[in-house]
Amino acid sequence: MVAAALAVALLAACGAFAEPQPSRESVFSEAAVDWLRVYPLTPYREFWNMTIEVKDTAKDIPSVMRVVEKNGGQLTVPLQNTVASPSAATQQLTCRLGRRAAVAALKDFKKVGRFAPPLVRPDGEKIPLDEIKRKIAALARDKEAHSGELVAMPAVAALVDAVLSHLLTTQAVVEKNDAEVILNLTVQGPPPR
């Protein structure tokens, strides 16, 4: 990866340029850009914990399940195997949804009961898509502007291609995949009398 940084530095030092190049600061808002940063390709995930207060736990569980299913969610454990307490009028559910679907489910849950916003705990690194796009544009522009110099430096050209390939792959993964949400939901009814 140090070689990739050298490749970028060599591109900048490849003799007199035919046209003035923008400064690094004008291309990126950060003072220093980490060109060798390896972005993880594992999906980003969030764990949401919330309690929804309903009028009757037993009667409202089917409504909760309809909201989950309508938004493409799936229980991680079959309903009959989930933790429930008839004496406390609670039912615990854990389901898996895409992030956009989970946000939509929150709107639909308002029709079923009352709840506070979920507590959200992220898992993994959120990929800065804008940063990746800026790096791709800058590398592609430099690669095209200095193609002649790169022909004379095949190792540097290979390094530029490797960094560009990683950035393009990361962009495709981020744009294709929605973050996953694991929703830990407690359905709470009024305590029995």
For 173: left if phi > 0, alpha if psi spans -120 to 50, otherwise beta; the answer is alpha
**Domain map (residue ranges) of the chain:** 1-13+42-193
Are 64 and 187 within 8 A, CB to CB? yes
Beta-carbon count within 10 A of 18 CB: 9
Span 100-153, pLDDT tens digits: 999 999 999 999 999 999 999 988 788 889 999 999 999 999 999 998 888 899
Q: In this predicted model, what pLDDT tens digit does every residue of 87-103 receive, in sequence order?
A: 889 999 999 999 999 99
Paired sense of beta strands 180-188 and 45-53, if any: parallel
Mean pLDDT score of the chain, rounded to an integer?
Answer: 84
Question: pTM for this one?
Answer: 0.65
Point out the least confidently predicted range of 27-41, 154-168, 177-191: 27-41
